[in-house]
Amino acid sequence: MIILVLFLILFSLIGISVPIGISLGLATTLTMLISKDVSLNFIAQNAFTSLDSFPLMAIPFFMLAGNIMSYGGVSKKLLNLADALVGKIIGGLAMVTTVTCMFFAAISGSGPATVSAIGSFMIPAMNEKGYAPGFSTAITSVAGAIGVIIPPSIPFVIYGVTSGVSIGEMFIAGVIPGILIGIALMATSYFISKKEGFSGNTETPPLGKAFIEAIPSLTVPVVILGGIYAGIFTPTESAAVGCVYGIFVSIVFNKSMSLRNLYDSLKDAVLINGATTYMVGLSSSFAFYLTIKQVPAQIGQVLGQISNGSLVMLLMILILLIVGLFIDNISSCIILTPIMLPIVKQFGVNPVHFGIIMTMALAIGFSTPPYGANLFVASAIGRVSVEKMIKYLKWLLLANLIVLLLVAFIPGISMGLVNLFK
C-alpha cells in the first residue's frame, strides 16, 4: 500500500511539471513521513553516499568535453566531412545530420548536447534546401539520441556505477548498436526524402580536403576511447584528458577557441552538471527506498513465474519504453536497474548486454512527448511545433525500435566486440 502512495505522489508531481529530481526527492520524503518507518536522515545520507563515487566524476568531464568541442569548432569540421561523404545522396543533408551526430556522439556522451551542437547548424541548412521543417527537426532529435549509445555515454557511466559492471565494457558494447542505429536512420531518411522530394546537396566540399581538415577533430574520440580500451586511462581519467586535448585541438588546429568560448563551455558544464548531480543523488535515495520495501524482490517473484525468457525481455522493453516517455534516462536507469537486472540475470542475460538494451530503450524517450528532451531542444532550435514533427518521427522511431529488438534478441551484436577484446 505504501508503495502505491509513493508512486501516486511521484506521478502527481511529474504531472504538474515539477522537475524529475525534485519529484523523486519529494515523493520519497512525503512517503517516509506518512509511513514513519525510516528516518528522514536516510535521504540526505544516501544521496551523498551515492555521489561519493570516482566513476561518477566522468560525467562532468564528458559534459565539459562536449561543450569544448561545440564551442571550439569541432562540430563544423565533422559536419564538413559528413557532407563530403554522403551529402550528394537523396536526402543527403538528413544523412549528413545523422553521420555528424554519430561523430559528435563519440565526444559528448549526451543526447541533448548532440542535438544542440549539430542542430544549430543543420536544421537551418536543411530548411534552406527545401526540406520540410518538421522533418529537419525530427531527424536531428532522433539522431541526437545516438549520443547516449556510441561511447562515451553518460547513461553508460550511470548504469555501470548502479549495476557494478565495467564501464569500459559498456563503452565497447555500445559501438555496433550505435552504428546500426545511424545506418537505420539514414536508410529511413532516404525513403522519406525520396517520397517527399528532398534532393541531395549539389555543392559538397572535396572529400580529401574535408578529411584532412577533420583529422585533428577525429583524433579526439580516438584519444578518449583508445586510452580506455588500451588500459591507459580509466573512463574518468579519459574524460579529463579529453577536455585538455579538446582545448588543445580547438586552439592549435581549429584556431576557434577564445577565452570567452572557454568560459562559456565551463559555465554550461557547471549548470548542466548541477542539475544532473542532484537528480542522481535523489534518484539513488528513491531507488534504495524501493529496495528497503522489497519492491524489486516482489516484482522479481511475479515475473519469475514466467518461464519464457523472450517474453520477459519483451515485457522489460515495453516497461522501459513506457517509463522513457515520462522520466529521463539517468533517473530511470538508477530506479529500474536494481529492479530489472536481477530478473534478467535469472534467464542468463549478460548485465552488460542488458545495459545496452536499457539505454537504447530509454533513449527512444528522448524523442517522444511528453518528456522528450531532444524533441524540445530540436523544436526550439527549428522553431517548429511537435505536431509538425510527428509525421516523420513515427518512421524514424520505428527504425530505432527495430534495431533495439535486433540487439535485444541477437546478443552478439553488442557483446561481439566485448568478447573480442577479452
**Domain residue extents for the chain:** 56-285+295-421
- Is the bond preceding 370 in cis, omega lying within 30 degrees of 0? yes
**What average pLDDT does this structure show over 34-51?**
78
Q: Where are the alpha helices (DSSP H) in 36-153?
A: 41-51, 58-71, 74-86, 92-108, 111-128, 133-144
Q: Which residue has the higher pLDDT, 345 or 37?
A: 345
* Residues sharing a CB contact under 8 Å with residue 235, sequence separation 6 or more, in sequence order: 55, 58, 152, 157, 160, 167, 168, 171, 228
What's the rounded Cα separation, in Å, for the pair 303 and 196? 45
What's the rounded Cα separation, in Å, for the pair 352 and 405? 16
Please, are residues 55 and 236 in contact by the beta-carbon 8 Å criterion?
yes
**What average pLDDT does this structure show over 112-119?**
79
Q: What is the pLDDT of residues 283-301, one digit of tens each?
A: 778 877 877 777 767 776 7
**What average pLDDT does this structure show over 115-134?**
83
Query: With bands split at pLDDT 50, 70 and 90, how would you rate the model's confidence at 371?
Result: low
Angle at 116 between CA 137 and CA 56, to 5 degrees: 130
Q: Which residue has the higher pLDDT, 192 or 334?
A: 192
Q: Which of 75-89, 176-190, 225-239, 306-320 shows the highest mean pLDDT?
A: 176-190
Which pLDDT value is given to residue 409?
95
Mean pLDDT of the residues in the chain = 84
- Is the bond preceding 152 in cis, omega lying within 30 degrees of 0? yes
Which pLDDT value is given to residue 216?
84
The verdict on pTM exceeding 0.75 is yes
Share of the chain above pLDDT 90, in %: 22
Angle at 365 between CA 363 and CA 370, to 5 degrees: 155
Query: With bands split at pLDDT 50, 70 and 90, how would you rate the model's confidence at 170?
Result: very high
**What average pLDDT does this structure show over 325-336?**
82
**What average pLDDT does this structure show over 255-271?**
84
115 exposure class (CB count in 10 Å sphere: 0-12, 13-18, 19+): buried
Query: With bands split at pLDDT 50, 70 and 90, how would you rate the model's confidence at 140?
Result: very high
Helix, strand, coil abundance in the chain, percent, nearest 5: 80, 0, 20
Which pLDDT value is given to residue 370?
66
Which pLDDT value is given to residue 387?
81
- C-alpha pair distances (Å), 384 with each of 297, 377, 379: 45, 11, 5
Query: With bands split at pLDDT 50, 70 and 90, how would you rate the model's confidence at 279?
Result: confident
Which pLDDT value is given to residue 359?
95
